[in-house]
Structure 1
């Protein structure tokens, strides 16, 4: 699951809606075709960053035809950073695929363009959290293939050298603050800050339960809990316990500074467990996020596959999605180490893949997976508004000003709220 980069273009969503509505009667060419023998070919759009990833997706497409010989899948791919730009353009032109790959943080922008799958597909075997992150307005808009939570990544060597107890389940915000201060020495910082949504907002959520979006998906950046949480978060920099991103374009700042050995802790997603263990020049540890008064909390995210409105073969598309997210498909992807599976029975396969990749680091990997599962148990889906990518840009623009002391948390959040609401 890829969570960095990828900003939707400034195409008007209203324009997409108009075209989607025009195709709602069922275009004979948008997304699929049927040959004279009755075989249906469905277009499937998905992100892929390498030939290996495309080969994995081709394998999944083959599983669909293996189970349903009269259904073929035509895979169309784009790099992740281009995927949603391409998808939005295709919807606007009425050339959308039948099977749409979707990331939960972008679901709000596509909610009216996807067919609800409630009652059309079997959802047995999925983690409840995985289904929840792809549900909006009470409707299951996609079936999940992966699931992610946020973890505290930490430098075990640095903790040992400083004589600081390592993070563990039940570690508190106070423990985190004290460790960050003690580990900030010799030009290094205890914590690498971020303004990326999942990374910064998850730690604020754990701090006091602050949420930037209401349960009915309305922005509330200027709420008092958000002001309090951001004041605390920014205070880590003021207290010389954290590194501030160099610029608003450094979305992956905290994670990068952690891997470079400049920050001893960072918040990062479960999708980077394997790469962090492999790439770091020190021993990496993992723990749930530090607990505030309500316990340890994290936002959850995930990816999955849905069916576009206007697909001329919706029944076949639902069958294809069920196979693409089925037990065989997820077992295969887990065995390739692609992502933490949304199906509970296949999650052990993913853990074993990571262990086999680096047997010497089996202990931190198993600790990481245990932390992921703890996070899932108390996690909260981050439901987002239609203009969330614009919100993310505003967060980068104004939060860095708060971190550097150029603007107060209250003023910055009020500006984000005002500009975001106007942009909806």
Structure 2
């Protein structure tokens, strides 16, 4: 895959605070767009890219806009993923934001006041409903999605076979998961690799009993009873010697790394790492939905997409560009490049075809993975976050590891996260 391991994992350390936006003017435009004497509008588009291959893919999308709308040109500006949102924050504060803004769902609340609603301005037909919902806030469609991600249970098929444990499948329960994790914890290996990354950890808590760290109106509720009960269960996996605990609070990708390295027989990871896990693991990899708790199997969903900045002097043209960048042709192209699981339902088969062609010997595993992704989408919900989610993520790493090692109770740790985070919502 072109999606590097950890790129979407950084969703878990999201939430850049943005406090100011400068409005744009008319005329030739000074905030992300300009019109030449021939009437052609040039729009700045900001996007993350980590390689020349990724930039070439984005250049292809920019060219699609001009093919569809000859009077619109797109000027691509890129930054490495780890620098992208810091750069974007600075540009908004200085009134130098691009017209077309690339956005991730977990960061949406920090930019909600800086993006033009696209309702009635762009075509939303053909998208998976969950993808649109992930980039909607306050009832407003603030960006259109180009990808969609869910969390899966990755497992070591060879280890399950050797231990005589039935492999996970749709409908697999929390009790089944616990029994397997205990039986697979032998010979210095662990049945499960734990995490404190938000999508990974919070999805397991959600699937266990429906616990959610944020209220429907996007207020933190880390200290709620369901969160305490779910974390008590999750931390109990370590107490029962059925899971590996991260070595330190800086090991955000611990569980999935230990899985690929063969030290943990199961881990939670995102749909974006299907291809890389099949390629990097030295054993047969299987995929399944997260274990089902009292309300069935659940997962949090995330999406990336493109919006239009307030202050863009040409919002109508920018909305047209966004429609092309997230349109069927663009998504079919990205799926064929293996960049991400498409947000448009008609293009999702092309992504599966890419993964199969990339690794034909694992075609059955790929099909199982995509089936599990779709299972997750059916029972999944977007993870909406507060504006200070970056701080929340750091506090999760700091205090959850204390819970996993038995140094602090789940109730006290969650109360501390709630208290220290609530001030910056």
TM-score, normalization by structure 2:
0.97
Cα distance in 2 for partners of 1:9, 1:387 equals 5
For 1:134-159, what per-residue CA distance to the aligned partner results, in whole angstroms no more than 9, with x for missing partners? 00111100000000000000000000
Residue 215 of structure 1 corresponds to which residue in structure 2? Answer: 216
Cα distance in 2 for partners of 1:4, 1:125 equals 27
Which shows bigger deviation, 22-31 or 140-149? 22-31
Cα distance in 2 for partners of 1:310, 1:260 equals 48
Residue 347 of structure 2 corresponds to which residue in structure 1? Answer: 346
Cα distance in 1 for partners of 2:72, 2:249 equals 46
Is the 8 Å Cα contact of residues 14 and 393 (structure 2) preserved in structure 1? no
Q: SS where residue 188 of structure 2 aligns? A: coil
Residue 60 of structure 2 corresponds to which residue in structure 1? Answer: 59
Match status 1:381 vs 2:376: no
Residue 205 of structure 2 corresponds to which residue in structure 1? Answer: 204
Measure how far apart 1:5 and its partner are: 3.4
Cα distance in 2 for partners of 1:86, 1:419 equals 26
Cα distance in 2 for partners of 1:293, 1:80 equals 37
Cα distance in 1 for partners of 2:15, 2:211 equals 29
Within-5 A mapping of 1:357-372: 357-372=358-373
For 1:192-244, what per-residue CA distance to the aligned partner results, in whole angstroms no more than 9, with x for missing partners? 00000000000010000000001111100000000000000000001000000
Match status 1:5 vs 2:10: yes
Measure how far apart 1:4 and its partner are: 2.5
For 1:22-80, what per-residue CA distance to the aligned partner results, in whole angstroms no more than 9, with x for missing partners? 41666931101111111110000000110000000000000000011110000001111
Cα distance in 1 for partners of 2:368, 2:201 equals 22
Q: 1:164 to 1:111 in 2, by over 3 A?
A: same
Is the 8 Å Cα contact of residues 9 and 85 (structure 1) preserved in structure 2? no
Cα distance in 1 for partners of 2:376, 2:402 equals 30
Match status 1:39 vs 2:40: yes
Residue 414 of structure 1 corresponds to which residue in structure 2? Answer: 415
Residue 144 of structure 1 corresponds to which residue in structure 2? Answer: 145
Measured on the aligned residues, the alpha-carbon RMSD in Å equals: 1.3
Cα distance in 2 for partners of 1:26, 1:150 equals 44
Is the 8 Å Cα contact of residues 26 and 310 (structure 1) preserved in structure 2? no
Cα distance in 1 for partners of 2:249, 2:96 equals 34
For 1:292-327, what per-residue CA distance to the aligned partner results, in whole angstroms no more than 9, with x for missing partners? 010000000010000000001000000000000000
Q: SS where residue 83 of structure 2 aligns? A: helix
For 1:117-139, what per-residue CA distance to the aligned partner results, in whole angstroms no more than 9, with x for missing partners? 01111100000011000001111
Cα distance in 1 for partners of 2:26, 2:106 equals 27
Is the 8 Å Cα contact of residues 330 and 343 (structure 1) preserved in structure 2? yes
Within-5 A mapping of 1:140-219: 140-219=141-220
Q: 1:127 to 1:80 in 2, by over 3 A?
A: same
Instruction: Give unpaired runs (5+ residues) of structure 2.
Output: none
Residue 23 of structure 1 corresponds to which residue in structure 2? Answer: 23
Measure how far apart 1:92 and its partner are: 1.1
Is the 8 Å Cα contact of residues 24 and 31 (structure 2) preserved in structure 1? no
Cα distance in 2 for partners of 1:93, 1:245 equals 40
Is the 8 Å Cα contact of residues 203 and 298 (structure 1) preserved in structure 2? yes
Cα distance in 2 for partners of 1:122, 1:9 equals 28
Residue 276 of structure 2 corresponds to which residue in structure 1? Answer: 275
Cα distance in 2 for partners of 1:185, 1:81 equals 37
TM-score, normalization by structure 1:
0.97
Match status 1:98 vs 2:99: yes
Is the 8 Å Cα contact of residues 8 and 85 (structure 1) preserved in structure 2? no
Cα distance in 1 for partners of 2:397, 2:24 equals 37
Cα distance in 2 for partners of 1:254, 1:188 equals 13
Residue 393 of structure 2 corresponds to which residue in structure 1? Answer: 392
Instruction: Give unpaired runs (5+ residues) of structure 1.
Output: none
Q: 1:212 to 1:25 in 2, by over 3 A?
A: farther
Match status 1:49 vs 2:50: yes
Residue 246 of structure 2 corresponds to which residue in structure 1? Answer: 245
